[in-house]
Structure 1
Amino acid sequence: MSTATPTRERPATHFRSENIDGVNVFYREAGPEDAPVVLLLHGFPTSSRMYRNLIPHLSDRYHAIAPDYPGFGHSDVPDREKFTYDFDHIADIIDKLLDRLDIREFTPYMMDFGGSIGWRLAVKHPERISAVVLQNAPLYPEGGDDGFWKDLIPYWGDGSDEHRDTARSYVTPECTRDQYLDGTHDASLIDPDCWLIDQALLDRPGVDEIMLDLLYDISKQETVFGAAKEFLRKEQPPALIATGANDGVFPESAMRHFLDDLPDAEFHALDTGHFALEEKAAEIGSLMRSFLDRTFTDARPRRLRK
């Protein structure tokens, strides 16, 4: 008789899309429909693909939703002359997607651009935020004119064509690759398909201009970030911070500022870089399971379909 421990089956991930304001928005979805929802908000310059290794760690007990923003991944890429590419508009699209899916409460996982989207949702609907998970996400930008931000700072200052051209360094294959490799503990664990796929999507006609619009919009977040800090101080949502400590974009020192407003947050600095899930998906998945299980011990269903 076999004494092997049975393998726990994980629900399959479904690949779906919804038409929101004339834009087909792609999303990955897995997990029980009546379970607490985890909204996985991706960064730049990637897509919901960055969550492909995390979703299986959550989906037997939690309902994972991972959308691609317009202009990213498998979502439509509307012409920028007809569609405003800024974080306010993209957050509005994701908000409408959540309404379409009848999601009333959720835990956002915020990473990079995902923070700019997630904070807007939290400020607009604080009553819907069950908890927050943060990984290399913005809210407490550090000063300095070198490092990752050096080609963006002049662009933010005047938005000129000259400085916009300089900022094109952020949509090059070298920058895309380096965001995956810099700060990793073992670079041989990072699948080269990650930056090749992201770059292929960046290289589609017109996408570089869309990304430059969004990179410029980073400079206009002072009001939203102020409101987000007030949300954290007032609401004190349960919070898990599991972040790549060696990230040159949002390093451990910046992420530790979250503890100023969330002193009870659970904080883990992991020995990896910006795209921490590529090297630490199992560890982050385990930390999330423990955190979410404690948060939702007595949780009611968080997702209802009409």
Structure 2
Amino acid sequence: MSRTLAAVLFASASIFITTPANVVFAETPAIAQQASATIHYRSTKIDGVNVFYREAGPADGPVVVLLHGFPTSSHMFRNLIPLLADRYRVIAPDYPGFGQSDAPDHTKFEYSFGHYADIVDTLLTKLGAAKYSMYLMDYGAPIGYRLALKHPDRVTGMIVQNGNAYDEGIRDFWNPIRAYWKSGATKDREALSVLVAPETTKFQYTDGVKDLTRISPDNWVHDQALLDRPGNKDIQLDLFYDYRTNLPLYPQFQAFFRDRKPPTLIVWGKNDKIFPEEGAHPYLRDLPDAEFHLLDTGHFALEDKLDEMAPLIRSFLDRKIAK
């Protein structure tokens, strides 16, 4: 692709960039270079549960780990994986209780962000992924950052998409969840049941999106069917409560950013009410060289902005990660 064509492709996107110096128009293939990738759908047993993961790309390629958010699974990366797998070894797990992974009873299995980080760590070790970049979205952010604290030398780069690590990013949406954190009361726990209701699942995909015809309804139908499995509501409510344990780790996450300075691409849906734009800007305090892009979309940005995000992600990985 010529530099001129790349510039046209990037310029045609509705992207807001804080500092022009952080923009690089590299000669990077974008959507047009979609690989004919074979995606493998696998499971492995960790801590007594079957953990499902998608894997694609060359076995000796640089590893990119895709960490999903709530209430979805590695399904959210189904369209991105083929655009990376020609050059990169892509690994996208489902956490227990999500997607195709097992969902044991919440009284018999610890549903916590610390446990999830340990499970992902074990998975990557089993797969021989000694170094990796991470795509961090929603729940995937604290899981990935906990992993980074355990193994800072293994992290080669970060792609941050609506994944929080700063107090500024916990705003009004979180008030009912904060009430549950404070009280631990059954009434406050049950008040959060609305967060696993069909209307909320659909809201997460559609709110802040300008053209709803770009959002497949299969997304919320798929996610809701899994949320509605017997016992899954309690799994999710346990995780809402455990999310409080991530906030005290924010200073450690931020110290990792400052001390290690991993190459970072921030691609953030600026209309997101769950992890709003206010949580995106503070990253630049600790990662001033991060490439920063606000996209005119909502929470699940990949669903309607893949054509803008894929060139940014490929360019970033090709310049900063690939050897």
Structure-2-length-normalised TM-score: 0.88
Paired residues for 1:190-229 under 5 Å: 190-229=215-254
Which whole-Å CA distance do the structure 1 matches of 2:245 and 2:264 have between them?
A: 26
Contact 1:54-1:282 within 8 A present in 2 as well: no
Which whole-Å CA distance do the structure 2 matches of 1:177 and 1:295 have between them?
A: 35
- Which of 141, 148, 154 lines up with 2:167 in the alignment? 141
Residue in 1 that maps onto 2:268: 243
Which whole-Å CA distance do the structure 2 matches of 1:32 and 1:149 have between them?
A: 41
- Which of 204, 214, 218 lines up with 1:189 in the alignment? 214
Aligned amino acid, residue 308 of structure 2 = E
Listed one character per residue, the Cα deviations across residues 237-271 of structure 1 (whole Å, up to 9, x for unaligned) are: 10000111111111222111100100000001011
Residue in 1 that maps onto 2:256: 231
Q: Tell me the matched-pair count.
A: 292
The Cα RMSD (Å) is 1.5
Listed one character per residue, the Cα deviations across residues 107-141 of structure 1 (whole Å, up to 9, x for unaligned) are: 01000000111010001000000001100001113
Aligned amino acid, residue 82 of structure 2 = P
Contact 1:119-1:225 within 8 A present in 2 as well: no
The structural deviation recorded for 1:27 is 0.4
Paired residues for 1:1-306 under 5 Å: 9-142=35-168, 146=172, 148-297=173-322, 299=323
Which whole-Å CA distance do the structure 2 matches of 1:128 and 1:143 have between them?
A: 27
Contact 2:270-2:276 within 8 A present in 1 as well: yes
Residue in 2 that maps onto 1:3: none
Which whole-Å CA distance do the structure 2 matches of 1:141 and 1:255 have between them?
A: 11
SS in 1 for 2:285: helix
Aligned amino acid, residue 108 of structure 2 = K
What percent identity do the matched residue pairs reach?
53
The structural deviation recorded for 1:225 is 1.9
In structure 2, the CA distance between the partners of 1:29 and 1:270, relative to structure 1 (3 Å rule), is: same
Structure 2 gaps of 5+ residues are 1-31
Which whole-Å CA distance do the structure 2 matches of 1:50 and 1:111 have between them?
A: 10
